[in-house]
Amino acid sequence: MLSTKNKFAHGQAFKGRSLKTILMAGVAMPVLSLSALAQDDDKEQVEEIEVTGTRATIRSSIDVKRNSTSIVEALSSKDIGDIPALSIGEALETLTSAASHREQGGATEISIRGLGPYLGSTIINGREAANGSGDRSVNFSQFPSELFSKLAIYKSMEARLIEGGVSGQIQLDTLKPLEYGKRRIQADYKLNYNPDNFNIDEDLRSRDFGHRLTLSYVDQFELNGLGDVGISLGFQKNTSTNPEQEARTSSGFRDCRNVVSGDPDSDNFGVDSLGDRDQNCDSGGGDLVLEVDPETGVAPDAGTPFLFTSSQRHFRQNITDDDRKSVFAALQWRPDDRWDINVDFQYSDRNFSERRHDLTIDGNSILNVGETGEVVPLNVTSLGAPIGFTTYDGAEISAQYAERLEEYIGGGLSIAYQVNDQLNVSLDYSYTKTERRENIIQTRLRSNTDSDTGSEDVYTGVIVENDVHRFIFRDFDVTDPNSFIVGPRTREDLNQFRNNSIEGLRADFEYELGDTFITSVYGGVRFSELKYDALPRVRRETDGNPLAVGDSYAASAACIYNGFPESGFLSSVSDGPIITNVDADGNEIASGTGNGYVAFDPMCLATAILGRDPSIPDADDVFLDRDVMGTGNNPLQITDVEEKSMAAYLQANFQTNFGDIPARGNFGVRVVQTEVNSSGYRGSIVLDRDDDNIITGLGVDNSALVSITDTHKYTRFLPSANLVLDLRDDVLMRFGVFQAMSRPDPSDLGVGRSFSSSIDNDNGSTEVADVVAQVSGYGNPQLDPLMSLNFDIALEWYPNEDTILAGGIYHKRFNGGFKNVGQLETFNIDGQDLTAIVTTQALDDEKSEITGFEVTAAHSFSYLPGALSGLGVKLSYNYADSNFEFEDANFGAADIIRSDGSVVQRVGITAPANVPGLSKHVFAGQLYYNIGDFDFQAVYKYRSEYFQQYINTPGNLRYVAGTGVVEARASYNIRDNVRLSVEAVNLFDKPKIQSNPIPENFSEVNVYGPRIYVGLRAKF
C-alpha cells in the first residue's frame, strides 16, 4: 500500500541554481521573513512542545495536503469534537476554495472553487449520501461537527474515487474506534443565544435560549482469542431558534411592455394601464412577443422597452423553533491481523417549525393606474428592473404555520481481508435515505376599503432601494385589524413530499508490487441504485365564503396579537420605515406608518375560519377531485426517478526519479454506465369558475390520467493522472489531469408539466389564455451528464510544520452547456385546446471553459517573544472565470420547436447566467491566538455573487449577492479535562440578498442576526 508519509522528505535537494531561482522568485518576495526563519528551524531544539487548538488543526491540514498525491484540502482532529466549527458546512468553509450557501443563517450547501454543489459530490465514510432537496448536494448543517474526525476536499480526481466531482469531492469520515486507541467518555454542552430572538415578544417566542448537548463514548476490548473490538457512540440533541426577517417577491416574474396602453382598440398592451385592467401584464396582453417571425427574421417586440414584474410582494416576520437529534455509531472488529470489519450508522432527525406573519400586496402587474391614483411614479432601470411604481389591487394579511420534518439514515458494512503481504481485498455495502416533509397551514384575510361595495383594492406605491422594498399606502392603515376582514381563505398544504435513497455495493482490491516503478495497483467495481420521488404541493383549500363579515371580525378579534411580534423589524436593512401611510395629498399619517402590521396566531386563525382543527392532506390526496380538495392539484408534476449506475476502475500508483527529482503519483481510468428511468402522468386540465364565469382555480382531471415512462442510458470513460515532484525537501510541484462528470440532479430528470397562473391576483379573468401564464417541463430524463476535461498545476512551499505558501492554477473544459428547448404542446383545458410553449432544459454542443487560480498561506509566529508567540494566520483565496452560459427558461434565448418540427428562435431579454454556484471570488481568512490553555480564532469568509438554482424551477435564474461573514470562537482549558468555550456566527448580522431574473432586480432579503454559543466540555 502506498504510504501516506512523504517518502522523499529527506531526499536530495534540487541542484539547478537557475531553475531554483525561477521556481522561488514568485513566492519569495511576500514571505522573505518566513524564508529566513525557516533556515533556522532545526538549529536548536531544546524541548518538544505539544501543539493544540487551532494551531494543531491547521498544522494537521498542512501535513495532509503535503503528503497527498492528489490536490487535497483537509481538516482533522486527533480528539473528539476538536474540529473548530459548529457545523460541517462552517468547518469546510475555512478550507481553500470552499464556500457555502446560507439558509437560516448557517452554512448548508458547499461549492468548491466557486462551482455549485451540482458540480461536486459528497462522500460519507466512502459512500454517497442522500438528501431531501432533490439535488445531489448535502445539507451539511444537519451533521454535527463534533461527531466527525476528518473532513477533506479532493480537487483533482483519482480513478478510485466515486464519480460525480467536476469541481471536486468532499469526504467526511467518522471516527474508527480501534484506530482511536483509547477510552473516552465526553459531554459537551452549548447554550445558544440569538440577540434577534429577544426582539420577539416574550409571550410569542418559542424559547429564550437554545441548547446543544453532545455525548460520546469510545472504547476498545479484547475478545479472548477473537481479536479486538472497538465501539464508538455519539448522540446530539440541538434545540435552537433561527429568527428570520424577510422582504420578498413571488418567485415567478413576467415580462411586460413598458408602454402606455389606454387605447382600447390597441393591441399594444403594457404596464401603464390607465385604470384598464384588461390592458396590463396580468391579462397576458402585455407579454413581449419574442419569437422570431420566419417571414421577417425579426421578433415583433425585439427592442421594445419592458420591465420584469412579479405578481406579489411581501414582508414576512418569522418565529422559529428548530429541534434536531443525531445519533452516530460505529463498531470495528479485527479478529486477527488479516481481517478488519467495520459497521457504521448515522441518524439525523430534524423538526423545524415557523410561525410566519405576512403582509402582501397583489396586482404588481397592474402598474401606475393613472395619474389620479399614482402614489409613486413608474421608475424602471435600463435592464427592466422596476424600482418605483404604483399598483391598485388588494392587500392581504397572512398567518402561516409551517414545519419541515427531515429524517436521514445512513450506514453500511465494510469487510477488508489481507490475503497476503501484497493483496488486500474489501467489500462494502451501504444504504442511505432521506425523507423530507413540509407542511403549511395558511390563512389570509384581504383588505377591506369599502364595506358598502366590498371593494378590496388599495392604491399602493412601491420603492425598491438599498436591497429592500418599501410600501406606501394611500389612506390605508395596515395596523388596524378592521382593514383586513374580507375574503378569508385557509389552505392546508402538504408542501413538500420527497424521498431519496441510495443503495450501493462495491468490491475493491489493492495489490502491492514492491520497489518498482508501479508500486501498487488498485481496482474495483461498484453498483448503486438511486431512487427519488417527489409530489407537487398537495392542497386543501377552504374559502371563507359563505362566512359573513361578522364571522371574520370574530375570528380576527379572537386571534390577533397584542401588537406586532418583533421590534426593529428589518430596521438593519432599511433607512426609515418600511411601511408609510399617506393621505391624498401625500402627507404622512402616523397610524399605519412604521415597521409593523397587524398579525395573528396562525393556528388560532385557521381553526376559527375552518370551524375545526386544521390538518395536512395525505400524499394520495393529490389524486382527489377538486370538489373534495376545494382547489385543483397537479399530479402531472409527480416525479419518480430511478437511476442505476455501474462503475469499474483500475488505478496504478507509482514512484520514480526524474533525474535528481523524486516523483510520485497515480494514473487510471474509471468507466461508468448509467440508466435513468423516469415515470409520471399526463392528463387534461380543468378550471373552476364562479357564477359570473370568472376563473377561480386550475387543476387536473384526475379521472383520465395516463402513466408514462421515459428511459435514458449513457456510458462515460473517466481517465485521470496525478504527479507530484519533490523539487526540494520543502518544495513540491503538482500536476493533475482528469476527465470528470456531474450527473443532472434527480429533480431535473422528471417528465412532469407545471402550469403557472395569475388566478391569485383576482383580476376576474374569464379566458383560459389570460390565467395560464406559463407551461414548464418538470425536468428532462434525456439530460446527459455535464462532462469536463480538467487540468491542475500547483507549486507548494513548506518551510516548517506550521507554514505553507501554495499557489495553483486550474482549467476546466466543458463539452456542453445548458440550453432551453421549447416545444409547442397542445393541452386540453376546460374542454378547449390551448397550444403553449413548454420549456425544458437540454445540453447543447457548445464548448465552454473555466479558468481559475487559488492561493493558500499559513504561518505561526511561534518565534515571537512571550505572549506574541501564540499568534498565527491562515489565508486562502480562489478566483474563477468562465464563458459558460445558462439561459433563463422564460426570458433567455431558446429554440422553439413547433408542432410541424420546424425550429424558431426566441430572442432573449436577460443575459445568461454562468455555471450554477460560480463565484468569481472566494476568500477565507483566519487569525488565531493559541498559547497555553487559551485558544482564539477569528474567521472572515467572503464569496462574490453567484447563480443559485431553484429546486422546483431549475431553469429560472436566481442570483445571490456577494457577502462577507465574520465568525469568532475562543476556548480555555479550566482543567486538563474541562474546557470553556464561546463561539459566534454571523457576528455583524450580514443579510442574504437575492434577485431574479437579473442581478439588479430585487426579489428577496433575509436577515438572520448573529448567533452566540457558550459551551462547557468535560472528558473522562
> Looking up cell 439514515, which residue turns up?
409
What is the number of H-type helices and E-type strands within the chain? 9, 50
Q: Which of 615-619, 693-697, 774-778 has the lowest mean pLDDT?
A: 774-778
Structural Rg of the chain based on CA atoms: 30
Cis peptide before 546 (omega within 30 of 0): yes
Instruction: Yes or no: say if 831 and 858 are a contact pair by the CB < 8 Å rule.
Output: no
Highest mean pLDDT among 23-32, 45-54, 148-157, 778-787: 148-157
Q: Which of 178-182, 590-594, 824-828, 909-913 has the lowest mean pLDDT?
A: 824-828
Neighbours of 854 (CB within 10 A): 24
CA gap 835, 149 in Å, rounded: 57
CA gap 457, 445 in Å, rounded: 13
Residue 5 has pLDDT above 50, yes or no: no
Instruction: Yes or no: say if 725 and 663 are a contact pair by the CB < 8 Å rule.
Output: yes
Q: Which of 112-116, 202-206, 571-575, 741-745 has the lowest mean pLDDT?
A: 112-116
pLDDT for the residue numbered 362: 84
Q: Which of 42-51, 284-293, 848-857 has the lowest mean pLDDT?
A: 42-51
Q: What share of the chain is helix, strand, coil (3-state, %, to 5)?
A: 10, 55, 35
* 161-217 pLDDT per residue, tens: 999 888 889 998 888 999 988 999 999 999 999 999 999 999 999 999 999 999 999
Residue 200: DSSP 8-state: B
CA gap 253, 386 in Å, rounded: 12
CA gap 945, 961 in Å, rounded: 4
pLDDT for the residue numbered 302: 87
CA gap 640, 749 in Å, rounded: 9
CA gap 935, 201 in Å, rounded: 37
Instruction: Yes or no: say if 317 and 599 are a contact pair by the CB < 8 Å rule.
Output: yes
Q: Taking the chain, what is the end-to-end CA distance rounded to the nearest angstrom?
A: 36
- Classified as helix, coil or strand, 867 is helix
* 366-419 pLDDT per residue, tens: 676 655 678 998 899 999 999 998 888 889 999 999 999 999 999 999 999 999
Whats the size of the chain, residue-wise?
A: 1020
Of 8, 44, 43, 52, the residue nearest 860 (C-alpha): 52
Q: What is the mean pLDDT of residues 823-844?
A: 68
**If pLDDT is split at 50, 70 and 90, which confidence band does 364 have?**
low
pLDDT for the residue numbered 956: 86
pLDDT for the residue numbered 820: 62
Q: What is the mean pLDDT of residues 842-862?
A: 88
CA gap 477, 449 in Å, rounded: 10
For residue 284, what is its C-alpha cell? 397576458
> Looking up cell 378547449, which residue turns up?
832
pLDDT for the residue numbered 610: 87
Give the H/E segment covering residue 530.
strand 518-535
CA 681 remoteness from chain centre: 29
CA gap 202, 200 in Å, rounded: 6
For residue 512, what is its C-alpha cell? 502491492
- Per-position DSSP letters for 902-947, written without gaps between them: -EEEEPPSSPPB-STT--SEEEEEEEEEEETTEEEEEEEEEE--EE
Residue 558 has pLDDT above 70, yes or no: yes
Residue 907 has pLDDT above 70, yes or no: yes
Residue 19 has pLDDT above 50, yes or no: no
pLDDT for the residue numbered 189: 96
**If pLDDT is split at 50, 70 and 90, which confidence band does 776 have?**
low
Q: Provide the residue type at 984 as one letter.
A: A
Instruction: Yes or no: say if 276 and 270 are a contact pair by the CB < 8 Å rule.
Output: no
CA 926 remoteness from chain centre: 24
Instruction: Yes or no: say if 303 and 259 are a contact pair by the CB < 8 Å rule.
Output: no
For residue 340, what is its C-alpha cell? 478488519
Instruction: Yes or no: say if 875 and 857 are a contact pair by the CB < 8 Å rule.
Output: yes
Residue 34 has pLDDT above 80, yes or no: no
Residue 25 has pLDDT above 70, yes or no: no
| 77 Cβ contact partners less than 8 Å away, ≥ 6 residues apart | 57, 60, 83, 149, 150
CA gap 869, 262 in Å, rounded: 76
Mean pLDDT of the chain: 84
pLDDT for the residue numbered 88: 81
pLDDT for the residue numbered 565: 96
CA distances from 225 to 218, 228, 229, 884 (A): 21, 9, 11, 61
- Per-position DSSP letters for 351-362, written without gaps between them: EEEEEEEEEEE-
**If pLDDT is split at 50, 70 and 90, which confidence band does 89 have?**
confident
**To the nearest 10°, the Cα dihedral for 360, 365, 367, 370?**
-110
Instruction: State the pTM of this model.
Output: 0.85
Task: Quote the crossing angle between the two packed helices 549-559 and 602-610, to the nearest 10°.
Answer: 150
For residue 64, what is its C-alpha cell? 495532509
For the stretch 312-347, what's the b/e string if a residue is b when 16 or more beta carbons lie within 10 angstroms of its beta carbon?
bbbbbbbbbbbebebebbbbbbbeeeeebbbebebe
Of 825, 743, 823, the residue nearest 783 (C-alpha): 743
Residue 14 has pLDDT above 60, yes or no: no
Beta bridge mates, 971 = 935, 981
* 306-339 pLDDT per residue, tens: 889 888 899 999 999 999 999 999 999 999 999 9
* 915-925 pLDDT per residue, tens: 888 899 999 99
Residue 67 has pLDDT above 50, yes or no: yes
